[in-house]
Structure 1
Amino acid sequence: MVNLSNDLTPKKMRKNILHLAWPAALRMFLQSIVGIVDIIMVGSIGAHALATVDISNRFVFITVGVLSSLTIGATALVARFKGAKDEEQVEKVIIQSLLTGAILSILIAVLGFVFAKPILNLMMILMDEVDPYILNNGNIYLKIVFTSMLFALPTLMFNSILQGLGDMRTPLYIMVTTNIINVVGNYIFIFGIGPIPEMGVAGAAIGTGLGRLVGFLLAGYVLLSKKTLIKVSFNSGKWKIDWKILKEILHIGLPASIEELVRRGSQIIYTILVAGLGTITIAANAVVMNINSLPIMLGFGFGLASTTLVGQSLGANKKKLAEAYGKQTTIVALFLMILISIPMFIWVEFIIRLYTNNVEVISMSKPVVRLIIVAQPLYGIFLVLAGALRGAGDTRYTMITTIIGNLGGRILSSLFFGYVLNLGLMGFWLGMVLDIGSRTVLIFFRFLSKKWQKIYEQRENTKTIFTK
């Protein structure tokens, strides 16, 4: 449970923030590290393998991102009712969230498996000629990864519920175990050990699926063993769709999902545009994206903590405390992101060489990586304040800022810099920086306006809506 006492000094608040945020930040950070290790392993096979996994993952990321954002509705409501000490409503939200996760996981797995090859053809539509290596190996990769969504989404929903309750450590432990299995599985199946043959790109997908399966089993064990803050009855009468509760979860989660759909969708368009410049550019972009993810995950972790802190503070009817937690979380996250960005900027070439020895890829990606590292602390501000607004249920505004930033900043400016000015990959990432800058300014002034507190007040009737 978050510390909601009235005598909190800034120093005590920062201590509480770090206590809550470090497991979430470390979990996201480790998730990023595993993605980096995966790409390093695949990159050792060659530029074509690296390009295959990058193109395939663009669509996987949009799916996971959209569904992860949907869980924000569960996190915000659980945090709100936990802060209000309304355990009955907490249980109702938990049950509906778990049911939703199970149903959506089946739907996504089936659709992804069936449409794997058309997805890859779409991603390479601007190429003069579709790369057969990417098409064939990517098709296998996507079918395996989408099948593993049967385990991934319920685990994401389980973790989001724990976050709303203020338990950031259990999701961390699950993620650590999942990541270890993922990395070990990738090494075994990508390169082959003993009787297990070398599987290359397909092996990377198997390692990912194995990790997700283990994470799902661990989440199920924790839930059934009751060694968690989640307290639910397994009475069959409670485990059915309740449209009133589901509507409230979607009211908060759906705008966040649309926001993520726009963000990830713009990345799909972005990747298609990059693919039109050739396989080497795709590989260089994959390197930049992965290095970029390292500090971003730290920001995402503090954003999750901000959602819980603000949500529980508002649930306890402490608006000033919610605002103070939002500000202090931003300060701490900004400091840490600057701290991690400095060594990354200095040793950028060393980091890139962990991915590839291809001279063209290194030359193309080096200045781009430095550009995006400079912009990362700014993005940290956005992630934390957006998390604060989500904790208040103000997800529509964050959705609007993402639409403006991605369509106006990322896509249009990327086309201008990348194609019109012929700056190539650097031009695309200049567009990304404009996107980050515009969204940060918009979200910063929204937080200062305190309109998110009024939106919470308007939704205050959710404490009784489920029983009407």
Structure 2
Amino acid sequence: MKKTEIRNRVIRESKGKFSVAVKKLVKDPIKLDILTIAWPVLMELVLSSVFGMIDMMMLGNIPNNTYAAAAVSSVGLTNQPLFLALSVVQALNVGGTAMIARYYGAGEKKRMENVLKHVMLFGLFFSIPISAFGLLNAENIMSFMGGEAHAIEIGASYFRVICISYLFQSFNISITGALRGIGQTQIPMRINVLVNFLNVLGNAVLIYGLLGAPALGVVGAATSTATANLIASVLLVRFLMKGNSELPFSFKRKFKFDTGTLKNLVRIGMPSAIEQLILRAGVILFIQIVSSLGTVIFAAHQIGMNLLSLSFTTGQAFGISSSSLVGRSLGKKDTQLASEYAKKTSMMGAITGILVGTVLFIGSEFFVSLYSNDPQIIHNASTALKIIAVVQPFQTHQLIVAGSLRGAGDTMFPLISTFVGVLIVRVISAYFFVFVLNLGLVGAWMGIVLDQFLRWILVGARFKAGKWKSIVIH
């Protein structure tokens, strides 16, 4: 496809004041296409991270410092099991996004709806028993994560409510992943920004007991999150049913189980599922190492991770954009265009990674002080942030390159890089730095740096090999 044709298509499809401004500033049609998909995802992820940071700040600033530290720690202890549970649905989502992008590029729109229904159905099939398991075993799971008795006592009820919220969150992931496959990222952004804003308001009311509501503390935060995810589910289904998307969807149309679709979902999604399981297993082992340093240090770690999540957003946004555009281009059998999209997305993302790293390094103490006024927490968390700020360009670049590989259906190598980086390098080096060299939280975060740098080398080498161009999706 010629660059002028790409630019004309983007101009026709993009809407809104922001899109008009981008069209005037960006002359390269490839970059324009990338930004058209990436900016709504970036806005969505950034605002979601900011809202999540505000949630954590609300808990960290509860007047009772002992309760506040335990509340922040309990959220950290429950996040990783939740992410582990979400990994199953996200794996199906990776396969669904890659397939829908290919079918969209090839003009086979009728097959897209069937793929989405497969992902939604199997997502519910896995998420319901997982949610039930979490409800019944909340204390045991938190204990396994290394939580101290006080954090478990405060956080168990929070965990149970989050398990209910997980059902709606899993459902939402299926729909947003499908929409991103066709490059329709503005609607998920608008819905997620709205419900996250409502979540923050709900948190303020239910955590502190405003407007006559009971002061529920950390349980109030979970209740608000579950309600927000339910609202998002309703709004996403309503959007699809109205027929305003190029992704056709209706509950009235009969669902036809297709073994070929299932095989593709398993073939593409299974490595991503295993990758996510390995990632979460590695992170859980990592958290067990950090939690052994005590509740206050773990609270500092959790604040640092909460801030670090904001730095992931640029890599994730550009990675999703590259995944969609690479898959779409390969659907059109244009490998040269797919390569251009992947390379320019990586370049743009790396530049933003440098900017994010600079901001994190300079403003580390200020950002941490928004969460807590505890000097020990501020010192430990800000020091850890300065360490991780250095690796930001490599982290962002590897997230984008991995997204390009997934968009092509090459999900096996990101699995290998995650296994080596997280489960081996991060865990072993963190153990050595913390327990042998006694470097505390700083040592643990040095393990994160080594992990990110190694994964950057591995996925970069895989992309340059070019084998992703020959992967076939039937």
TM score, norm. by length of structure 2:
0.91
SS of the counterpart of 2:210?
coil
Deviations 1:1-31 (A, max 9, x none): x989479998221111111110111111122
Q: 2:281 aligns with which of 265, 269, 278?
A: 265
Displacement after TM superposition at 1:137 (Å): 1.9
C-alpha distance in structure 2 between counterparts of 1:174 and 1:251, whole Å: 31
Is residue 208–residue 215 contact of structure 2 (8 Å, CA) maintained in 1?
A: yes
Displacement after TM superposition at 1:241 (Å): 3.7
- Name the counterpart of 2:455: 439
Q: How does 1:194-209 map to 2 (within 5 A)?
A: 194-209=211-226
Is residue 100–residue 115 contact of structure 2 (8 Å, CA) maintained in 1?
A: yes
The question of 1:427 aligning with 2:443 is answered yes
Displacement after TM superposition at 1:291 (Å): 1.1
Q: How does 1:174-323 map to 2 (within 5 A)?
A: 174-235=191-252, 238-323=254-339
Displacement after TM superposition at 1:95 (Å): 2.0
Structure 1 residues 115 and 5 mapped into 2: Cα distance closer, same or farther (>3 Å)?
Answer: farther
The one-letter amino acid paired with 1:265 is A
- Name the counterpart of 1:465: none
Displacement after TM superposition at 1:227 (Å): 2.3
Is residue 42–residue 317 contact of structure 2 (8 Å, CA) maintained in 1?
A: yes
C-alpha distance in structure 1 between counterparts of 2:119 and 2:411, whole Å: 18
The question of 1:67 aligning with 2:89 is answered yes
- Name the counterpart of 1:19: 36
Is residue 161–residue 222 contact of structure 2 (8 Å, CA) maintained in 1?
A: yes
Deviates more, 1:240-249 or 1:270-279: 240-249
Which consecutive segments of 4 or more residues in structure 1 shift more than 6 A? 6-10
Structure 1 residues 4 and 239 mapped into 2: Cα distance closer, same or farther (>3 Å)?
Answer: farther
- Name the counterpart of 1:114: 136
Deviations 1:398-425 (A, max 9, x none): 1011001112210111111111111111
Displacement after TM superposition at 1:390 (Å): 0.4
- Name the counterpart of 2:174: 157
The one-letter amino acid paired with 2:91 is S
Displacement after TM superposition at 1:247 (Å): 2.0
The one-letter amino acid paired with 1:151 is F
- Name the counterpart of 1:127: none
C-alpha distance in structure 1 between counterparts of 2:330 and 2:263, whole Å: 21
Displacement after TM superposition at 1:397 (Å): 0.8
- Name the counterpart of 2:20: none
- Name the counterpart of 2:395: 379
The question of 1:334 aligning with 2:334 is answered no
C-alpha distance in structure 1 between counterparts of 2:427 and 2:47, whole Å: 30
Displacement after TM superposition at 1:304 (Å): 0.7
Q: How does 1:79-158 map to 2 (within 5 A)?
A: 79-124=101-146, 131-158=148-175
Deviates more, 1:55-64 or 1:271-280: 55-64
| Alignment length (residue pairs) | 452
SS of the counterpart of 1:261?
helix
Is residue 105–residue 151 contact of structure 1 (8 Å, CA) maintained in 2?
A: no
The question of 1:363 aligning with 2:385 is answered no
The question of 1:50 aligning with 2:50 is answered no
SS of the counterpart of 1:367?
helix
The one-letter amino acid paired with 1:83 is G
Is residue 75–residue 160 contact of structure 1 (8 Å, CA) maintained in 2?
A: yes
SS of the counterpart of 2:248?
coil
Deviations 1:414-437 (A, max 9, x none): 111111111111111111111001
Deviations 1:121-156 (A, max 9, x none): 1112xxxxx633211221101110011122111111
Deviates more, 1:221-230 or 1:349-358: 221-230
C-alpha distance in structure 2 between counterparts of 1:316 and 1:241, whole Å: 26
Displacement after TM superposition at 1:183 (Å): 0.8
CA RMSD of aligned residues (A): 2.0
Is residue 99–residue 241 contact of structure 1 (8 Å, CA) maintained in 2?
A: no
Is residue 131–residue 167 contact of structure 2 (8 Å, CA) maintained in 1?
A: yes
SS of the counterpart of 1:194?
helix
C-alpha distance in structure 1 between counterparts of 2:415 and 2:434, whole Å: 26
C-alpha distance in structure 2 between counterparts of 1:405 and 1:270, whole Å: 12
C-alpha distance in structure 2 between counterparts of 1:317 and 1:179, whole Å: 39
- Name the counterpart of 2:362: 346
Q: 2:411 aligns with which of 370, 389, 395?
A: 395
Contiguous gaps of at least 5 residues in structure 1: 125-129, 463-468
Is residue 181–residue 210 contact of structure 1 (8 Å, CA) maintained in 2?
A: no
The question of 1:414 aligning with 2:436 is answered no
The one-letter amino acid paired with 2:111 is Q
Displacement after TM superposition at 1:243 (Å): 3.2
Q: How does 1:3-18 map to 2 (within 5 A)?
A: 5=5, 11-18=28-35
Contiguous gaps of at least 5 residues in structure 2: 9-25, 63-67
C-alpha distance in structure 2 between counterparts of 1:285 and 1:214, whole Å: 31
Structure 1 residues 21 and 6 mapped into 2: Cα distance closer, same or farther (>3 Å)?
Answer: closer
SS of the counterpart of 2:327?
helix
TM score, norm. by length of structure 1:
0.93
Percent identity over the alignment is: 34
